[in-house]
Chain A
Amino acid sequence: AQSVTQPDIHITVSEGASLELRCNYSYGATPYLFWYVQSPGQGLQLLLKYFSGDTLVQGIKGFEAEFKRSQSSFNLRKPSVHWSDAAEYFCAVGGITGGYQKVTFGIGTKLQVIP
């Protein structure tokens, strides 16, 4: 069974500081990995995705993530955080189960940005 672990439920960073959100996954084959962001009361917006190839993927809003197969990780990074980045971030792994696309989401990491 596929699963996702986001070990940090809540993170606080200062504006301008660097950010790394952790994500570990479990999946039997080559994983398809996603990071989504959710602002309060809104739906989820795709930040970036990894399917294959280059293990460092670039996304929107200046975010990037690195796939490390040996560590089963797909951590999200941003070199300099802006106040508008305050939101909840979800890591997800996609796979085929019973013939349909099943996406399993982590429980999310809530990011607070302080001045």
Chain B
Amino acid sequence: DGGITQSPKYLFRKEGQNVTLSCEQNLNHDAMYWYRQDPGQGLRLIYYSQIVNDFQKGDIAEGYSVSREKKESFPLTVTSAQKNPTAFYLCASSTRQGVSNQPQHFGDGTRLSIL
């Protein structure tokens, strides 16, 4: 079955360390997204990508970076500049970027905590 795989499920970061969250999809979707979820705040968009080698900042991009070298992969790096990284991170994808009626499909998330 097609889907989105996020790894690892749990991740711990030390002070001053960069960590990378993996997101892989085999749905042949063009668009991919990263969201941050905090209790009581819903989902907030970090970065999105419409096609390979192109990505745009979302609402809360500071302290994060991404790459899109392959259609299937959209890794998120949480840098040391992100002072409050503890959260649940969700990756999503959808077909035909620019068509607003396509629902997003989600991975099972990565929970990042500070050591």
Does B42 contact A43, Cβ atoms closer than 8 Å? no
B106 CB contacts on chain A under 8 angstroms: 36, 43-45
- Complex formed: what's the CA distance from A81 to B107 in Å? 26
Mark contacts of A66-87 with chain B using CB atoms, 8 A cut-off: 1 yes-contact digit, 0 otherwise: 0000000000000000000000
Interface: B99 (CB within 8 A): yes
Does A100 contact B107, Cβ atoms closer than 8 Å? no
- Complex formed: what's the CA distance from A51 to B94 in Å? 16
Closest chain B residue, CB of each to CB of A106: B42
Q: Among the listed A42, A46, A49, A103, which residue makes an inter-chain contact with B108, where contact means beta carbons less than 8 Å apart?
A: A42
Closest chain A residue, CB of each to CB of B90: A43
Chain A: interface residue total (CB-CB under 8 A): 26
Mark contacts of B81-107 with chain A using CB atoms, 8 A cut-off: 1 yes-contact digit, 0 otherwise: 000000000101010011111111111
- Complex formed: what's the CA distance from A66 to B48 in Å? 30
Q: Whole-angstrom distance from the CB of A27 to the nearest CB of chain B?
A: 10
Does B100 contact A101, Cβ atoms closer than 8 Å? yes
Does A107 contact B40, Cβ atoms closer than 8 Å? yes
Interface: B56 (CB within 8 A): yes
Closest chain B residue, CB of each to CB of A39: B108
Closest chain B residue, CB of each to CB of A46: B103
Closest chain A residue, CB of each to CB of B38: A107
Q: Which of B43, B45, B56, B100 has the most CB of A within 10 A?
A: B100
Interface: B50 (CB within 8 A): yes
B50 CB contacts on chain A under 8 angstroms: 100
Q: Known contacts A42-B108, A43-B106, A44-B106: does B42 contact A101 (CB below 8 Å)?
A: no
Does B111 contact A101, Cβ atoms closer than 8 Å? no
Sample of 12 A–B contacts (CB below 8 Å): A41-B108, A43-B4, A43-B108, A90-B42, A90-B43, A94-B100, A99-B98, A100-B31, A100-B56, A100-B98, A101-B98, A101-B102
Extra contacts, 16 of them, besides A43-B109, A99-B98, A106-B42 (Cβ < 8 A), are: A32-B100, A32-B101, A36-B106, A41-B111, A42-B108, A43-B107, A43-B108, A44-B92, A46-B105, A51-B101, A90-B42, A100-B31, A100-B56, A101-B100, A103-B104, A107-B42
10 closest A-B pairs by CB: A43-B106, A107-B42, A105-B43, A44-B106, A105-B42, A32-B101, A51-B101, A94-B100, A43-B108, A46-B103
